[in-house]
Structure 1
Amino acid sequence: GEFCTYMLQQYKGQEETARRNNQVAFILPATMNSFNHGIPIVNIQSTHDGTIVTVREDGCACHWSPELKPQKTKHLFNEDPTNTKSKWASDFALMSEYNKLMIATELQLYNLFSLEPYCQISELETIPLTVDYRLWNKLPKTETIPNISINHAVLSPNLAFIRWKVHHDWVTQNKYFHSLQVVVSSSNEESSSLVICLLPLTDAEQQLSEIKETCYEGKSKKIQLSWTPQVRASCDQTVFSIYKGVRTFDLCQKHRLLITGGMDKLIRLWNPHYSKPTGILKGHSAPIISIRISSEDNQIFSVSTDCTVKIWHLQDQCCLFTADPKASRIHGDISACAYSPAMKSLYIAADCMTMLPLKLQRLHRHFTVSHNEPVLCCGYSKEFRQVVSCTEGSVVRVWDFDTGCQLFEFGGSHELSSITCLTFDPKGRLVTGGRDGSLKIWNFNNGLCLKTLKKGECREVCDCIFLQVHRNYVMSVGRDRKIDIYPRPQASWQDDLKNGHKDDILCMAQCPPSFVATASSDGEIIVWNVDSGRIQTSVPSIVFLKDSYLKELSSTTALLSSGAECVNLWNVLGRGKFVSSFKASKFQQKITKLAKAEKDVLLYMADRIGYIYVYSMEKLDPEKKSLRETFWRAHTNTVTLHIVDNDQVVLTSSTDYTVRLWSTQGEFI
C-alpha cells in the first residue's frame, strides 16, 4: 500500500511538473504603435534578423524594429506623379533569399531593404488575392527595370507557366511549403475548403498537356490565356471538405500536422494525408481569422475576429492562455497577423499595429537556475543528506546534497500558496509555512501531506522552528502577531496575549534548552523563557550566540540582530542590555539574514544585494566594530542562509531563482 501511494504521488508530481513547464502567457496589455496607420495592413511578415515588414492596401511599405518602432517607410505606388491610375495591394511575400519583396496588385518586385522597384509582371487576367513563392535560379541581371506582360513572359525559355482549377470561390490563403514540395490553398466554399497540391506534378501526361496549352510549344505568337484551367489529377492533390470553409491554416512538417480555422469558430487538427480531423479545439466565440504553429514550443496561436487571442498546447490539445480584448486592449477589425519565432511575439494589425510578446522565463546566460520562479526558502536534511527548496509558486524540489541532482518535485497546484519558510523535525519530515497562513507537515520523498497543523487564514507565516523542551513542538510566527505552538499547550502564553508583539512577527531563533527570541517589524525583540520579554530595535534576522568568544560577554548568552546596515549585539542574561553594533555590509546595504556555525566560531551575514560576509567570533571585538574574515557575492537578490556543519559548507537560496552550495571561504561548489 505504501509503495502504491509513493508511485501515485510520484506520477502526480510528474504531471504537475509537466503542467508547470507548459505554462505560458502574454505580457499584457499589448505594445501598440499607431504610426502611419488608418488604412488596413494586408499582411505582416518578419525577416531572419527580426525586422517586421508590413504593407498597407494603398502600397505603403514599412519596416519595424522587433520592439515595434518604425525604421523605414515608403509609398510604393506613388513614385510616378504622372500615373493617376490607383493601385491597391492585396498581399505580399518576402523573398529573403533574393532580397526581394513581391506585392500582389499585379506582380511587382521591390528590393527588400531599399524598397526600390525591381520588375513587374502585368496584364494578369485576374487580380491575385494571395501570393507565395518557391525558390528558382537567378536570371541575368538587367540594367533597366523590366515591365513584361504575362502573355510575353510565358514565351521565355526560363519560365514555365502552369495554372489549374482548385476552388469554386475566392481563395482566402495560399502558401508554398518548400520542405514538403506542396502548395496549400483555402477557400470559404465547403466542397473544396482546403486543397494540398503536390509539386512537381506526378501525372506526366497532364503536366505535358498543361505546358503545351500554356506555351504553345514555344511559338512566338501572342498567347490568349482565356482558356479554362484544368482540374488536377486526384493523385496530385488532397481535398478537404470542411463546414463553412477555411479562412486560415498552417502546416507543420516537424509534427506532420495541419491546422485550420474559419467561420464555424473551431480549430481542426489534421494529418495532411488524411481528410478527417484528428482533433478539434473549441473555445473561440467568433470566427477565426488567423492561426500560427510554433513548432519549437509545441504551441498554436489563434486569433478571432472579436480580437481574442488564444495559446494552445499542440500535443495536449488544451488552451494554455486567453487574452481578451479588455486585457490586451486590441480593438478594431483585424486585417493581418504574424508570429515571430525569433522574438517570441505575435504581431497583429487592427486599429493600430500591436505586439503581444510572450512572458519568457528569465534568461540566465551566466549560470544555471534551480527553479523557474523566485526561491523563498531552502533547508538541509541531515537524516537524508538532501536539500529542499521552496518557491513563490509553492513548488518544492528535493536535491541530492552530494551530486546536486534533482530527486523529486511536488506542489505547485493552484490550491497551494507560496511557501515562505521551512524546517525539519527529528524524524526527517518537512514542516512548511505558507503565505496563506497554513502550516503543514510533509513526507518530502513522495510529496504526501501528512498533517495540516494550521489551516490557511490569509495571514502569512514568516518563520517556523522545531523545538524540543520536555517534548517536541513546532512553533511558528507571522503576520497574525502571535506565537503558535503545536501540539497546543494546555494553557495559552498569557504574556503573548497581553504583552506580546503589536506588529507582524518576522523571525524567530532558538537557544536550547529554553530560550526563544522573536522579532517584529516595529522594532520589538522579545526573548522568551516561556513568559519573559524585552523591547529593543527593528530586525529582519536574529541569532543566538552561546558561550560567546566575545570578551565582554564571556560565559553568557548573546543575541545578534540585524538592522539597516548594522548588526547589533545584546546581552540576554543581562536584562537585554544593548552592548554594541557594527557595520557589516561593505556596500552599505541592509543585512537581511544571519547564520552561525555549530560551535559559534564563524558568523555569516547576507545583505539584500546577495553578498555574504564571514566573521570570526574569536577575532571579533565590538570596540573595533568589525574584523571581516572574507566575503563574496553569492546571488543578485535577497539571500537565505544555512550552514551544514558536518560538511563545512554554506547552503544559499535567493529570489534570483537559484539554490547554491559554497565552501566556508566562498568557493562555488
Structure 2
Amino acid sequence: MSLLPIPGIRGGEAIPFSKAAPKDQKHELRKYYGAAGAVLHRAKADTVELQTKTDRVNVLKDRASYRSEREMNLAHFAELMSIFKQASKSGSGKLTMPEFKSAFSVVLGHGLTDDQMSILFMKVDANMDEAVDWDEFSTFMLLRAEGQSVMQEQAETQLFDTESMTTHFPILTPHKDMIIRILWLGKSQRYLTCSRDGMVCCWSDRLKLQRSFANIGRISSKPEPGLNSKTKPPWIHDCIYLPNLNKLAMSSDDHEITFYDSTTMETQLRLDLHDSVAFTMNYHYDTENPDSDQSTLLYGTDQGCVTLIRFSHAALFGTAISKKDQAPVISVDSLSKTPGVQVWKRKAHNDWALQVEYYHDLRSVVSCSPDEKESLVMATQTGTKKWTVVSASVRKGVNAIAYSKFPLALISGGTDRQLRIWNPHRLQRPTASLSGHLSPIISITVNPLNGQAISLSTDKAIKIWDIRKQQCLQTLSSTIEHRPENSLSSIFFSTHRGGKLIVASTVMVTYGLVDRSQKNRVRSHDAPIRAALWNGAFKQVVSGCDSGVVNVWDSSTGQKTFRFANVHEKAEITAMAFDAASRKLITGGRDGSIRVWNFNNGQLLQELVKGDRSEVTGITVGIFAYVSIEPSPQPQ
C-alpha cells in the first residue's frame, strides 16, 4: 500500500520505512481465507451444504478467533468471495465503486443509501486506488468485527469507582486491632466485623456503626498456670455467622471454638479442641428447608487436619446455661459419641490448614495450605460415609481460595504471587495461571454479579480479574496508611445495593461499582485526551488519549462506533493527523514512532521509522511538488 508524499522525502527516493502488518493478523486471515475457499469449492461441487454456526462459545477462553467467527461465519465469507469473482467485469477480482454498490446492495441490504454505500467503499479502500479487492474487504470486515466485539465486551465490563469520597476517606471503626472477618447478616440487613482482639461491631447496610462489643472471648475456660483467666486475651483467628441459629462462632488460640448469641453476645457453648487451634471455619445449612434441624460446621487446624461436624441443633445446643459467661464446655472427642452428631476428620495437609470451605453445588469440602505437596485438597461426598479425595500441588502452597458458580471455576492464590484458575471437576492442573501481583496473595473473594475474582496481596494491592477472559481488569491501590501494620487484612464483596467491595484493616474502605450510564455519559476516555479530529469524509470525530486508545464517534448520533487500543504499545499518543484524503489516521508516539492506521477497523497499515526515539510533537500532512531546474549550457 502506498502513502501520500511525506514532507522531507523527494519523489522517486527510497522511503526509509515500511513495516509489515503484524504476523499474527496475517496468519489468522490466511486461515480464514483458506477455510472459506475450501468451503466454497465443496459447495460448488454439491458435496456440502453451507451452514451457519454462530453459537460456539468457549466460556473459559473467549479468544479473538471465536469472537470473529461469531460475527462473520465461513459460509458468509464464501458467499462474499463468490460475489467478488463474479461481479468484477475486468476479471481482476477488484470492484470499482459502481460495481461495489451494485454487487453488495443485495447482501448489505437495500436500506442503505447511495451515500452510505460510498462511505463504506471508502472505508474499505484504505490504499485509495479506487478499487476494492477481496483481501481488502475481508481484512476490513474481520478486523472491524473483532474490534466491535472487544468494544462491546469492554462496555459491558463493570469496574469499581476509584474517585468516590469513600475511597479517599476511610470509615473509622472502634477496632484497635486488624479486622479478620467481614460478614453480611442477611436476615437483619446489617454488616458485622470482628478483629483479632475479640471486638465485634455491628453496622447498618450503609455502614453506619450501630453497636460494638469489646473483649468478646477474653474469658478462657482453660487459663494457663499463673495467669488470671479474666485478663487473658486470646487471639481470634476466625469468626463465622450461623444464620439459622442466630449465633456467632469464634475460633481462638486457646484451643477453643466459642459460640455466642449474635444479638446479646452472650456465650452459648465452648468446643474444646484439646491440642489443636482452628485457623479457619465454615458453616453450611439447608437454605431450601428452613425447618431442617441439621447443620454442618467445618474447621481446619494448625496440624493440617480438616474436621466436619454434622449435628442436630438440639444435640449441640440443648444444654441449658446455668450462669452467665459459664457456658457448657464440650470436648470435640466426645462429640462422635453424642446422639445426633457425626464427626468426620482427616489429616489433609502437612502444614497449617489456612482456609476450608464447603461448596454445596459440588458436594465438596475444599481446603488449602502452604504445604507444597498437598496444597489444595478437595473431598467430594459420594455416599453416606464415603468421600473421594483429590489433591493438587502448588509451588510455595496456597494461602486463599474462592469459588465462582458462573463461570464455573475454583480460584487460588499463594506466596508465589500467581492467581490460578482451576476446573473443580479436574483438579490435576490449573486451567490458567495469572501473573500481576508483586507480593504474596493472602485473600480472594468473588464478584458473582460480573464473574470477577478479587485478590488481595500483602502490599495492599487489590486486583480485579475477569474469570472468563482470564485477564486483569483493574488494580486498586490503597494510599491510606493503615495501622498498626500498614496492611489490609480482609476483603469482602457484598451484592447488597448493587454491589460494593469492602476492604479493611482497623478502618474500612469501600469501592462501589461504576454506574454504566454515568460512565458512558460523562467520560469518553479513561486518560487525558491528546487530540480530537473532525473527519469530513466520513462525518466522524476521532479522538485519542494518553493511554494509547483511539475512539471513533458518529457525529450525527454521538455514539462510539469503533475503538482500538495499544496504538503505540506502552507509549503515549503525542500527535494525530489525517492524511490528505482523510482516509487514514497518522499517529505519533512519545517513543518516536509514527504509525498509519485504517481507523475504521484498527488495521495498522505502515509504521514510519524516523531514525531516532525522540518524541513526536506534531504531524503535518500536505501535497508537495518538487521542481528540478537544470542550468542552461554555458557558451564555449
State the alpha-carbon separation in 2 of the partners of residues 123 and 180 from structure 1. Answer: 30
The residue that corresponds to 2:271 in the other structure is: 122
Q: Gaps spanning 5+ residues in structure 1: where?
A: 208-232, 462-483, 491-669
Residue 92 (structure 1) aligned with residue 232 (structure 2): no
Structure 1 residues 395 and 36: CA distance shift in structure 2, 3 A: same
The residue that corresponds to 2:436 in the other structure is: 283
Residue 107 (structure 1) aligned with residue 257 (structure 2): yes
Q: Once the 2 structures are TM-superposed, how far is the Cα of residue 40 of structure 1 from its aligned partner? A: 3.2
State the alpha-carbon separation in 2 of the partners of residues 308 and 280 from structure 1. Answer: 18
The residue that corresponds to 1:32 in the other structure is: 170
State the alpha-carbon separation in 2 of the partners of residues 80 and 172 from structure 1. Answer: 23
Structure 1 residues 185 and 400: CA distance shift in structure 2, 3 A: same
The residue that corresponds to 1:308 in the other structure is: 461
The residue that corresponds to 1:2 in the other structure is: 136
State the alpha-carbon separation in 1 of the partners of residues 398 and 595 from structure 2. Answer: 53
Aligned residue type for 2:416? D
Question: Given that residues 575 and 617 in structure 2 are in contact (C-alpha distance below 8 angstroms), is that contact kept between their aligned partners in structure 1?
Answer: no
Question: Given that residues 62 and 72 in structure 1 are in contact (C-alpha distance below 8 angstroms), is that contact kept between their aligned partners in structure 2?
Answer: yes
Structure 1 residues 158 and 418: CA distance shift in structure 2, 3 A: farther
Question: Which has the larger strand fraction?
Answer: 1
Question: Given that residues 347 and 355 in structure 1 are in contact (C-alpha distance below 8 angstroms), is that contact kept between their aligned partners in structure 2?
Answer: yes
Structure 1 residues 98 and 373: CA distance shift in structure 2, 3 A: farther
Give SS of 1:134's match: strand
Residue 171 (structure 1) aligned with residue 353 (structure 2): yes
Query: C-alpha offsets along residues 581-624 of structure 1, whole Å, 9 cap, x if unaligned?
Result: xxxxxxxxxxxxxxxxxxxxxxxxxxxxxxxxxxxxxxxxxxxx
State the alpha-carbon separation in 2 of the partners of residues 370 and 460 from structure 1. Answer: 25
Residue 271 (structure 1) aligned with residue 423 (structure 2): yes
Query: C-alpha offsets along residues 219-250 of structure 1, whole Å, 9 cap, x if unaligned?
Result: xxxxxxxxxxxxxx7x5211122222222111
- Of the three residues 51, 59, 77, the one matched with 2:217 is 77
State the alpha-carbon separation in 2 of the partners of residues 243 and 370 from structure 1. Answer: 43
Question: Given that residues 179 and 490 in structure 2 are in contact (C-alpha distance below 8 angstroms), is that contact kept between their aligned partners in structure 1?
Answer: no
The residue that corresponds to 1:650 in the other structure is: none
State the alpha-carbon separation in 2 of the partners of residues 337 and 57 from structure 1. Answer: 12
The residue that corresponds to 2:404 in the other structure is: 252
Q: Once the 2 structures are TM-superposed, how far is the Cα of residue 413 of structure 1 from its aligned partner? A: 4.8
State the alpha-carbon separation in 2 of the partners of residues 375 and 267 from structure 1. Answer: 31
Structure 1 residues 442 and 257: CA distance shift in structure 2, 3 A: closer
State the alpha-carbon separation in 2 of the partners of residues 92 and 451 from structure 1. Answer: 60
Larger Rg: 1
Q: Once the 2 structures are TM-superposed, how far is the Cα of residue 30 of structure 1 from its aligned partner? A: 5.3
Question: Given that residues 23 and 320 in structure 1 are in contact (C-alpha distance below 8 angstroms), is that contact kept between their aligned partners in structure 2?
Answer: no
State the alpha-carbon separation in 2 of the partners of residues 192 and 241 from structure 1. Answer: 5
Question: Given that residues 255 and 295 in structure 1 are in contact (C-alpha distance below 8 angstroms), is that contact kept between their aligned partners in structure 2?
Answer: no
Q: Once the 2 structures are TM-superposed, how far is the Cα of residue 276 of structure 1 from its aligned partner? A: 1.4
The residue that corresponds to 2:81 in the other structure is: none
Residue 347 (structure 1) aligned with residue 527 (structure 2): no
- Of the three residues 23, 43, 48, the one matched with 2:181 is 43
The residue that corresponds to 1:360 in the other structure is: 514
How many residues are treated as equivalent by the alignment? 428
* % identity of equivalent residues: 25
Structure 1 residues 445 and 27: CA distance shift in structure 2, 3 A: closer
Q: Once the 2 structures are TM-superposed, how far is the Cα of residue 314 of structure 1 from its aligned partner? A: 2.3
Question: Given that residues 389 and 396 in structure 1 are in contact (C-alpha distance below 8 angstroms), is that contact kept between their aligned partners in structure 2?
Answer: yes
Aligned residue type for 2:462? V
Question: Given that residues 378 and 387 in structure 1 are in contact (C-alpha distance below 8 angstroms), is that contact kept between their aligned partners in structure 2?
Answer: no
Q: Once the 2 structures are TM-superposed, how far is the Cα of residue 61 of structure 1 from its aligned partner? A: 0.3
Give SS of 1:63's match: strand
Q: Once the 2 structures are TM-superposed, how far is the Cα of residue 447 of structure 1 from its aligned partner? A: 5.0
Aligned residue type for 2:162? I
Normalising by structure 2, we get a TM-score of: 0.53
Question: Which has the larger helix fraction?
Answer: 2
State the alpha-carbon separation in 1 of the partners of residues 574 and 509 from structure 2. Answer: 31
Q: Gaps spanning 5+ residues in structure 2: where?
A: 1-134, 222-227, 287-291, 294-312, 627-636
Structure 1 residues 97 and 383: CA distance shift in structure 2, 3 A: farther
Question: Given that residues 246 and 260 in structure 1 are in contact (C-alpha distance below 8 angstroms), is that contact kept between their aligned partners in structure 2?
Answer: yes
Question: Given that residues 180 and 253 in structure 1 are in contact (C-alpha distance below 8 angstroms), is that contact kept between their aligned partners in structure 2?
Answer: no
Aligned residue type for 2:449? E
State the alpha-carbon separation in 2 of the partners of residues 258 and 84 from structure 1. Answer: 43
Give SS of 2:455's match: strand
Residue 240 (structure 1) aligned with residue 240 (structure 2): no
The residue that corresponds to 1:161 in the other structure is: 343
The residue that corresponds to 1:14 in the other structure is: 148
Query: C-alpha offsets along residues 11-35 of structure 1, whole Å, 9 cap, x if unaligned?
Result: 5623752684458566276543453
The residue that corresponds to 2:376 in the other structure is: 194
Question: Given that residues 191 and 241 in structure 1 are in contact (C-alpha distance below 8 angstroms), is that contact kept between their aligned partners in structure 2?
Answer: yes
Give SS of 1:255's match: coil
Residue 319 (structure 1) aligned with residue 465 (structure 2): no
Give SS of 2:213's match: strand
Give SS of 1:37's match: coil
State the alpha-carbon separation in 1 of the partners of residues 416 and 606 from structure 2. Answer: 50
Give SS of 1:176's match: strand
Give SS of 1:2's match: helix
State the alpha-carbon separation in 2 of the partners of residues 283 and 428 from structure 1. Answer: 40
The residue that corresponds to 1:216 in the other structure is: none
Give SS of 2:141's match: helix
Question: Given that residues 240 and 275 in structure 1 are in contact (C-alpha distance below 8 angstroms), is that contact kept between their aligned partners in structure 2?
Answer: yes
Q: Once the 2 structures are TM-superposed, how far is the Cα of residue 387 of structure 1 from its aligned partner? A: 6.8
Structure 1 residues 264 and 17: CA distance shift in structure 2, 3 A: same
Structure 1 residues 61 and 246: CA distance shift in structure 2, 3 A: same
Normalising by structure 1, we get a TM-score of: 0.51
Q: Once the 2 structures are TM-superposed, how far is the Cα of residue 458 of structure 1 from its aligned partner? A: 9.3
State the alpha-carbon separation in 1 of the partners of residues 391 and 219 from structure 2. Answer: 43
Structure 1 residues 373 and 191: CA distance shift in structure 2, 3 A: closer
Correspondence 1:481-560 to 2 at 5 A: none
Q: Once the 2 structures are TM-superposed, how far is the Cα of residue 73 of structure 1 from its aligned partner? A: 0.8
- Of the three residues 145, 150, 160, the one matched with 2:330 is 150
Structure 1 residues 188 and 449: CA distance shift in structure 2, 3 A: closer
Aligned residue type for 1:123? D
Query: C-alpha offsets along residues 493-525 of structure 1, whole Å, 9 cap, x if unaligned?
Result: xxxxxxxxxxxxxxxxxxxxxxxxxxxxxxxxx
State the alpha-carbon separation in 1 of the partners of residues 528 and 375 from structure 2. Answer: 51
State the alpha-carbon separation in 1 of the partners of residues 562 and 586 from structure 2. Answer: 17
Question: Given that residues 108 and 121 in structure 1 are in contact (C-alpha distance below 8 angstroms), is that contact kept between their aligned partners in structure 2?
Answer: yes
State the alpha-carbon separation in 2 of the partners of residues 101 and 378 from structure 1. Answer: 58
Query: C-alpha offsets along residues 509-553 of structure 1, whole Å, 9 cap, x if unaligned?
Result: xxxxxxxxxxxxxxxxxxxxxxxxxxxxxxxxxxxxxxxxxxxxx
Structure 1 residues 435 and 280: CA distance shift in structure 2, 3 A: closer
| Alignment root-mean-square deviation, CA | 5.1
Structure 1 residues 123 and 237: CA distance shift in structure 2, 3 A: same
State the alpha-carbon separation in 2 of the partners of residues 68 and 45 from structure 1. Answer: 12
Aligned residue type for 1:353? V
The residue that corresponds to 1:553 in the other structure is: none
Structure 1 residues 27 and 68: CA distance shift in structure 2, 3 A: farther
The residue that corresponds to 1:554 in the other structure is: none
Q: Once the 2 structures are TM-superposed, how far is the Cα of residue 90 of structure 1 from its aligned partner? A: 1.9
State the alpha-carbon separation in 1 of the partners of residues 319 and 178 from structure 2. Answer: 35
State the alpha-carbon separation in 2 of the partners of residues 339 and 79 from structure 1. Answer: 29
State the alpha-carbon separation in 1 of the partners of residues 572 and 438 from structure 2. Answer: 32
Aligned residue type for 2:472? C
State the alpha-carbon separation in 2 of the partners of residues 451 and 111 from structure 1. Answer: 71
State the alpha-carbon separation in 1 of the partners of residues 148 and 526 from structure 2. Answer: 18
Aligned residue type for 1:17? M
